[in-house]
Chain A
């Protein structure tokens, strides 16, 4: 696959990206619009091209799947599962436990409209659940947001790298649109390196003290310290792992902030407006957590206005407001229910912002 240009669906690209990243074990549960991920991985099981790919199983529920991932990852393997929004809710328990036990695992959420059963259209309404910690307790997920099928192919590698570097679950937050979209992909080299898990994985206590992966700590002082140490990791991640893309922001008076499929539409709106002489640009976070706070603050200090475009009723807009501080215009275009805004809707909002500004 590497080096070749292949025409794939987003979900397929994610699956192949995980294989190229050295996936060891995948535990599945089908749910639309993410099912192509386990289907692709089921099909490729036994393919000698991927010597690291050792195990595939369809579990009996999302809960069983995430707990199997925890077991495999606890043993130091690169383990993954994927789901969509209703399944993501089910997996929150597992993610809370994994974060506390510092077990690295990769999960993908191909977000669809909610709440409840919703529908199969794209939404970005799992942003809160993903970035604020949808499960109980103090923790964070590292959250990566692909916007193209190419990124769906590349982010699993980054996802595993960050998961093992910080010993924390990592989420690829996609959406139904990007999951179903078909585009060209060029794959990177197949990964052969192994992460060093020797000081924590439960591989059998031979010649060493036992490793215990545990989230229960009845001594309150000890638990305070344990979570404090985890948050030191998060501070390091905030300082070092922010990733984003800026498009035509150098002289932009209005900066659109969007991720995933919303950023593709926003990019189209930027080009449309630029051709009409409107100074607008796009800031696209690639890591939703850690969130690019300081980059947005810098843009704000340069006097920009912000328009957040999301497929929800207003989630990332809160983080943008927090990042840029008071006295900065942050407006919002939201679309939910499984549909997307048009470039025209974004354009008319920016025009209205300009009128207000003058």
Chain B
């Protein structure tokens, strides 16, 4: 074969360590890890980025990202992020949190961080279930969804209706950028028949970049990423992706909920 000269169009990211992840096959946590690393590399801020790891499937993220970390208690990441950012405003501080961490036990910390326009970035991985602890109900679990603590399907009379976190955060004055995107591939019809598109992942990629830009402009940024949990939903990976677009987006529509700096217009 003739020698061909290649350039690397997409390759290693400095913000990633080489450690293989513990995430389940097909889990969007891995995708988000790549998007965050690409954004941090792209903005050239690796050396002044600190991640506040939260309690959920992403708790071991300190093994995957090549920058400083503080691992917070369950739900407390926005508070830890706020404390660090206030004494080191030159740092870029962000967290990745699951539904339980951000919307259940940590709801106060999330809302007040937004309320105070704390210049930090919060990523919520919403898969409508508690993943790490084995599939219990989350505030975002859909009505009728079977989980280990709602074995007969979620009963909203007892447990309340689903919590739309992006909508809630967008009503807080202090939030500057609130976006709901999806990390799941989507099956769509095309001339070739049914194909899978990554357009949502690419849109999420821009949202991740915007969320860091919003922090640099001094604002509170929140991005909710719809994701799957094929293990705890007890579905094969592709069925789980389909569930996101068949059911979950109907409850949690994708879109831009707040954009004080007009980042998405750029």
Contact = CB atoms under 8 A, between A and B. Distances in A.
A215 B71 contact: yes
B21 to A, nearest CB: 14
B213 to A, nearest CB: 18
Q: How large is the interface on A (under 10, 10 to 19, 20 to 34, 35 or more residues)?
A: 35 or more
Interface in A50-86: 54-55, 57, 59-61, 63-65, 67-75, 77, 79
Interface stretch (A107-115, A197-205, A258-266): A197-205
B108 interface: yes
A93 B73 contact: yes
A59 B83 CA distance: 10
B23 to A, nearest CB: 15
Given A94-B73, A202-B68, A202-B69, A67 B86 contact: no
B87 A59 contact: no
Interface string B59-86: 1101001111111110010011111111
Given A72-B83, A203-B68, 8 more contacts: A57-B82, A67-B83, A71-B81, A77-B88, A101-B70, A206-B47, A206-B48, A214-B70
B50 interface: yes
B46 A75 contact: no
A212 B63 CA distance: 9
A213 B70 contact: yes
Interface residues of B, number: 36
A74 B82 contact: no
A216 B53 CA distance: 11
Given A79-B87, A93-B73, A214 B68 contact: no
A67 B59 CA distance: 17
B125 interface: no
A210 B108 contact: no
B72 to A, nearest CB: 7
A25 B71 contact: no
Given A60-B108, A205-B47, A70 B72 contact: yes
A81 to B, nearest CB: 10
B99 interface: no
Interface string B184-217: 0000000000000000000000000000000000
B112 A64 contact: yes
